[in-house]
């Protein structure tokens, strides 16, 4: 590198947009000062310079919403720290609802905000008119007001981050393109630039519009795509500049637009249906401070709609058109964190709302790098949520879908159609012929339910109970009264082998590692005691273990395993190689016995046993375990045997009343026994003692397992909140997650998940309350779509409280 520039640093951040600068600042804030940012041109030379600079907290994912809240609150702090103005306009914003569904969505958001401490409010059309008189509220049913919404100066804000980072010791090198990133044997990186090579321990790809190209330098595919986006700035409008106060932001999802005041006029941008991916095959290196040509044609319909919603626009001339690209991941959330399988390589890209999310992304990444884990569950933005199966051909239609749906109502039961069906197991056609209605998880098609004769093969997206109700109910009753079959493709599977496998598992898992022939359930903890996974571990023979957990979290878990790997233990992700079925219900044993010559009587094959046995023509690993609360078995085989195993089970099962069941039925059945679910009740947001998973921790094992210290502390002094179950007096909608729990007019907790138990005929919810033990109150209210519903705390599962059925 040139004179005065370091040639060796702890971290190199590539990219000086708002995100790279935020990462750099947060690294220094959290204590790493030996950090360098390299920018090929001036700071803000990607998407950042032409952003509209709007910010807001609304996000379907609660943790992302919290990080957006953090970002917005940070700006004043940055200004005070650096003296650099961010050009803040905290004007507040209203999101309009012009359909009952969108109003439901806003009510659900408002409910979440209550326990998050965000002061949003639902407004009537008249209140909207009072606040933003230029809105034509005809057809508007209401709106959500957020006092935190506003806008800023994109360049000033980026400079403020940069200045703060420099004050913390960071170095910023501009006009210096990174040409290569080469992995070193010592785990670090040679960052080859136009001005020489820098050796870095860690590399952060924050290259925004060029993140794909920078990723490719290290052989990393990042699933993102730039989209061309356009906003217009009007000439002066008297109704605006004559106002006493600045006009608030107005998001009009029905018209796919956002609007705010810009100087003495207005600025309006569109997420139009006729959208345009930009530079599909790669961002040119010579693209920089130019804008794209105006494209009125693609926004014609949206503009016409906007004229009706904001009639003043029709009289205002257009002063400036800004048309530029910025990047999106397939689900619209950022791609952040350590890239699985690549040492010391981190990303902070696909941040489509840099001024709402940039601060939170920077903070999270810095925590991850410095402290080894993030303060909040990073799932929504974790790069590991996309596996190696993602390709450019998958990313493109998904990004288009996401862009077009930017302002669509998102329903909790919704399945998005683009790039599907993609990944399928050998059973797909069989389920399809049985009228499966598929959902998608981690790119894989999974039956959600099997539609009843005469029903449509499509689940209507809804905040309320959907048309899947009767079908799910009938599957639940099928399991409880006879026997049901479902695939195990929704589990991840890892094969852990080696002489040191038991010792390694004992260290990485907090629970008991089973003896040969047995299986156990165990939480996996982080050093801070947070839940990193809830695993089933089975041991067929000493030195060979199978782990199962959430299919969608397989890369998240694999990455954790690799970070903690030791010589002599091999860990293989066999999720897509090993498949099979689970059978559940009172007739499950009879079914299994009829397809195997192995004795599976209750004495010979006990609850939590694992055995190798022939099933049909195939040799399978069979585990006796249950997530439905009923007698159940998991039968594992390889992909090539799966159809034969199914044929054998199906032929033997028909006289017993065997029928398929899907994810909707599983999620209903688990409620009866208060079984929590990964990413709902169990996630890195919670500890084992908070969720009750501490009952699976083996405190007497003579091993310093990860998270032991905190788990032990929590055993002595239990954490202040605990996971509880409720019966809700619900009408036509059930708890989904993050609804507030009220008592005496105060929000005292929040829900993690819930649903309808078709067997008990009750609406059940789970959620956190302040710990008050067995003596505590039982009468609460849960807010469902803006309405208060009585919720009685249940201390024991109403179905088979002793767990007799699954152990019989
Ligand atoms: C028209 C428009 C309106 C928008 N409005 C808003 C809004 O209102 N609110 C909001 O929050 N967001 C808005 N955005 C999105 C916002 O611009 C982005 O979220 C944000 O800029 C992303 O920042 P970034 O740092 O990730 O990427 P970028 O800004 O693209 O920065 C990447 C940087 O990396 C540098 N770089 C790349 N490769 C190399 C290399 N090899 N070596 C060295 N340096 C390299 C580039 O030069 C660039 O400076 C808008 C975007 C557009 C296009």
Instruction: Tell me how far the alpha carbon of residue 210 lies from the centroid of ligand 1, in angstroms.
Output: 9
DSSP letter string over 147-166? TT-EE--HHHHHHHHHHHHH
Please state the pTM of the whole predicted model.
Answer: 0.96
Q: Find the helix or strand (DSSP H, E) in which 722 lies.
A: strand 721-728
CA 367, distance to chain mean position in Å, is: 18
Pocket test of ligand 1: the residue of 47, 173, 323, 325 to mutate, having most ligand atoms within 8 Å of its CB, is: 47
Q: Which atom of ligand 1 is nearest to the CA of 228?
A: 53
Q: For residues 454-463, give the mean pLDDT.
A: 94
Q: Which distant-in-sequence residues (6+ apart) come within 8 Å of 432 by Cβ? A: 438
Ligand 1 atom closest to residue 54's alpha carbon, by position in its atom list = 8
- CA-nearest residue for atom 12, ligand 1, is 353
Q: What is the pLDDT of residue 774?
A: 63
Query: 392 C-alpha vs ligand 1 centroid, how far in Å?
Result: 20
Cβ atoms of residues 582 and 488 within 8 Å:
yes
* Residues 597-652 pLDDT 10s: 999 999 999 999 999 999 999 999 999 999 999 999 999 999 999 999 999 999 99
pLDDT at site 773:
65
Q: Do residues 441 and 679 touch, judged by C-beta distance below 8 A?
A: no
- Distance (angstroms) between ligand 1 centre and the Cα of 640 equals 47
Q: Which of 90, 74, 89 is nearest to 21 (CA)?
A: 74
pLDDT of 59 reads 82
pLDDT of 586: 97
Ligand 1 atom with least separation from CA of 209: 30
The rounded mean pLDDT for the chain is: 95
Residue 789 Cα to ligand 1 midpoint, Å, equals 44
16 CA distance to ligand 1 middle (Å): 9
The band of 85, judged by pLDDT with boundaries at 50, 70 and 90, is very high
Spacing, Cα 68 to ligand 1 middle (Å): 17
Structure confidence by residue, pLDDT tens digits, 547-596: 999 999 999 999 999 999 999 999 999 999 999 999 999 999 999 999 99
- Residue 269 Cα, ligand 1 centroid: separation in angstroms? 17
Which residues' Cβ are closer than 6 Å to ligand 1? 14-20, 38-41, 45-48, 50-55, 177-178, 206-210, 214, 229, 231, 322, 324-326, 349, 351-356
pLDDT beyond 90 at 60: no
Cα 402 to ligand 1 centre (Å): 18
The residue nearest atom 35 of ligand 1, judged by CA position, is 15
User: Which of the listed residues 93, 155, 210 should we mutate to test ligand 1's pocket, taking the one with most ligand atoms within 8 A of CB?
Assistant: 210
What is the average pLDDT across 184-201? Answer: 97
**pLDDT value at residue 289:** 80
Query: What pLDDT shows up at residue 296?
Result: 87
In this structure, the residue with its CA closest to atom 31 of ligand 1 is: 17
Which 3 state secondary structure label does DSSP give 546? Answer: strand
The closest-lying atom of ligand 1 relative to the alpha carbon of residue 158 is 25
- The arithmetic mean of pLDDT across residues 429-453, rounded, is 97
Q: Which of 326, 332, 351 should be mutated for ligand 1, with most atoms under 8 A from CB? A: 326
Among 71, 333, 354, which is best to mutate for testing ligand 1, by the most ligand atoms less than 8 A from CB? 354
- pLDDT digits 0-9 by tens, 257-289: 999 999 999 999 999 899 999 999 999 999 988
Is 90 exceeded by the pLDDT of residue 772?
no
Q: Which residues contact 656 (CB under 8 A, 6 or more apart)?
A: 482, 483, 587, 590, 591
Helix (H) / strand (E) containing 806? helix 804-807
- Ligand 1 centroid – CA 302 distance (Å): 25
Ligand 1: residue whose CA is nearest its atom 50: 51
Comparing CA positions, the residue from 46, 652, 788 lying closest to residue 358 is 46
The closest residue, in CA terms, to atom 37 on ligand 1 is 207
95 touches 106 (CB < 8 A): yes
Ligand 1 centroid–CA 18 distance in Å is 7
* Residue 342 scores a pLDDT above 80: yes
- Residue 208 CA, ligand 1 centroid: distance in Å: 5
What's the CA gap between 365 and 745, in Å, rounded? 38
Question: Counting atoms of ligand 1 from 1, which one is nearest the CA of 356?
Answer: 11
Give 397-447 as a 3 state SS string: HHHHHHHHCCCCCCCCCCCCCCCCCCECCCCHHHHHHCCEEEEEECCEEEE
What residues contact residue 588 under an 8 Å CB cut-off, 6+ apart?
483, 630, 631, 632, 633
H-state helical runs in 88-235:
100-116, 125-131, 154-167, 211-216
Whole-number Å distance, alpha carbon 354 to ligand 1 midpoint, is 7
Strands 436-441 and 570-573: unpaired
- Which residue, chain included where needed, has tokens 């640093």? 9
**What's the confidence (pLDDT) of residue 2?**
65
Burial class (CB in 10 A: 0-12, 13-18, 19+), 100: exposed
- The residue to mutate among 48, 289, 358, having the most atoms of ligand 1 within 8 angstroms of its beta carbon, is 48
CB 323 within 8 A of CB 316: no
Q: List, in sequence order, every residue forming a beta bridge with 200; answer none if it has no partner.
A: 9, 189
pLDDT at position 611 = 97
Which residue has the least CA distance to atom 2 on ligand 1?
51
pLDDT tens-digit profile of 194-203? 999 999 999 9
pLDDT tens profile 293-320: 998 889 999 999 999 999 999 999 999 9
Cα–Cα distances in angstroms (integers) from residue 58 to residues 118, 144, 173, 536, in the given order: 10, 10, 35, 36
- The predicted model gives 86-105 an average pLDDT of 95
| pLDDT higher than 90, residue 765 | yes
Q: Quote the ligand 1 centre to 432 CA distance (angstroms).
A: 43
Q: How confident is the model at residue 777 (pLDDT cuts 50, 70, 90)?
A: confident
| Strands 570-573 vs 121-123: parallel, antiparallel or unpaired | unpaired
CB-based contacts of 439, cutoff 8 Å, min separation 6: 415, 445, 446, 447, 448, 663
- The answer, yes or no, to whether residue 425 has pLDDT greater than 90, is yes
Q: Supply the pLDDT for residue 423.
A: 97
User: Tokens 């890239």 map to which residue?
Assistant: 339
């Amino acid at each position: 590198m040139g004179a005065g520039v370091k040639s060796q640093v702890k971290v190199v951040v590539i990219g000086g947009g708002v995100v790279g600068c935020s990462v750099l600042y947060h690294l220094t804030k959290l204590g790493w000062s030996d950090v360098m940012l390299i920018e090929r041109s001036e700071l803000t030379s990607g998407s950042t310079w032409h952003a509209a600079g709007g910010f807001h907290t609304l996000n379907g994912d609660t943790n992302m919403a919290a990080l957006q809240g953090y970002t917005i609150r940070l700006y004043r702090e940055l200004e005070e720290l650096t003296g650099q103005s961010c050009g803040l306009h905290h004007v507040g914003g209203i999101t309009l609802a012009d359909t009952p569904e969108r109003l439901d969505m806003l009510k659900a958001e408002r409910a979440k905000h209550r326990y998050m401490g965000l002061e949003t409010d639902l407004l009537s059309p008249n209140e909207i008119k009072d606040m933003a008189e230029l809105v034509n509220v005809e057809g508007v049913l209401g709106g959500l007001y957020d006092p935190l919404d506003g806008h800023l100066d994109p360049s000033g804000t980026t400079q403020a981050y940069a200045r703060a980072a420099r004050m913390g010791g960071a170095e910023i090198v501009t006009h210096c393109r990174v040409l290569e990133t080469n992995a070193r044997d010592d785990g670090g990186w040679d960052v080859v630039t136009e001005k020489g090579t820098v050796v870095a321990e860690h590399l952060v790809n924050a290259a925004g519009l060029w993140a794909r190209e920078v990723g490719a330098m290290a052989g990393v595919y990042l699933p993102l795509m730039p989209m061309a986006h356009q906003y217009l700035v009007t000439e002066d409008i008297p109704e605006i500049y004559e106002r006493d106060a600045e006009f608030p932001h107005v998001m009009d999802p029905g018209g796919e637009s956002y609007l705010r005041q810009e100087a003495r006029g207005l600025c309006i941008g569109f997420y139009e249906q006729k959208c345009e991916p930009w530079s599909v095959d790669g961002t040119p290196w010579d693209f920089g401070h130019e804008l794209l040509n105006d494209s009125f044609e693609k926004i014609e319909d949206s503009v016409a709609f906007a004229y009706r919603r904001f009639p003043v626009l029709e009289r205002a001339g257009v002063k400036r058109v800004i048309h530029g690209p910025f990047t999106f991941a397939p689900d619209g959330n950022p791609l952040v964190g350590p890239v699985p399988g690549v040492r010391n390589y981190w990303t902070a890209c696909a941040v489509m709302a840099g001024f709402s999310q940039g601060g939170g992304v920077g903070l999270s990444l810095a925590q991850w790098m410095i402290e080894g884990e993030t303060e909040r569950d990073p799932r929504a933005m974790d790069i590991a949520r996309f596996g190696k199966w993602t390709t450019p051909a998958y990313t493109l239609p998904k990004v288009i879908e996401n862009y077009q749906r930017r302002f669509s109502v998102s329903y909790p039961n919704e399945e998005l159609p683009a790039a599907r069906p993609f990944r399928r197991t050998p059973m797909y056609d069989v389920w399809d012929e049985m009228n499966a209605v598929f959902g998608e998880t981690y790119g894989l098609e999974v039956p959600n339910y099997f539609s009843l004769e005469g029903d449509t093969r499509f689940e209507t997206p809804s905040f309320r109970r959907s048309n899947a109700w009767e079908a799910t109910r009938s599957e639940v009753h099928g399991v409880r009264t006879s026997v049901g079959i479902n695939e195990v493709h929704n589990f991840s599977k890892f094969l852990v082998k080696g002489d040191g496998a038991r010792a390694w598992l004992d260290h990485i898992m907090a629970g008991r590692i089973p003896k040969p022939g047995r299986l156990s359930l165990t939480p996996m903890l982080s050093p801070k005691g947070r839940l990193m996974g809830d695993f089933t571990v089975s041991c067929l023979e000493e030195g060979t273990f199978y782990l199962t957990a959430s299919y969608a979290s397989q890369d998240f878990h694999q990455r954790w395993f690799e970070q903690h790997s030791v010589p002599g233990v091999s860990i293989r992700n066999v999720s897509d190689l090993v498949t099979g079925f689970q059978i559940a219900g009172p007739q499950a044993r009879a079914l299994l016995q009829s397809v195997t010559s192995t004795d599976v009587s209750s004495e010979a094959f006990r609850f939590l046993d694992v055995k190798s046995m022939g099933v049909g023509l195939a040799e399978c690993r069979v585990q006796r375990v249950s997530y439905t609360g009923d007698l159940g078995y998991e039968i594992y085989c390889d992909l090539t045997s799966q159809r034969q195993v199914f044929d054998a089970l199906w032929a033997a099962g028909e006289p017993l009343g065997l029928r398929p069941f899907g994810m909707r039925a599983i999620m209903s059945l688990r409620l009866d026994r208060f079984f929590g679910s990964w990413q709902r009740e169990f996630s890195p947001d919670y500890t084992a003692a908070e969720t009750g998973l501490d009952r699976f921790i083996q405190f007497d094992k003579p091993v310093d397992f990860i998270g032991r210290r905190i788990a032990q502390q929590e055993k002595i002094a239990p954490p202040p909140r605990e996971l509880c179950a409720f019966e809700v007096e619900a009408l036509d909608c059930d708890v989904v997650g993050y609804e507030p729990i009220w008592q005496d007019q105060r929000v005292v907790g929040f829900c993690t998940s819930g649903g309808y138990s078709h067997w008990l005929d009750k609406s059940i919810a789970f959620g956190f309350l302040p710990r008050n033990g067995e003596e505590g109150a039982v009468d609460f209210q849960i807010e469902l779509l803006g309405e208060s519903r009585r919720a009685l705390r249940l201390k024991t599962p109403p179905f088979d409280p002793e767990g007799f059925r699954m152990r019989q």
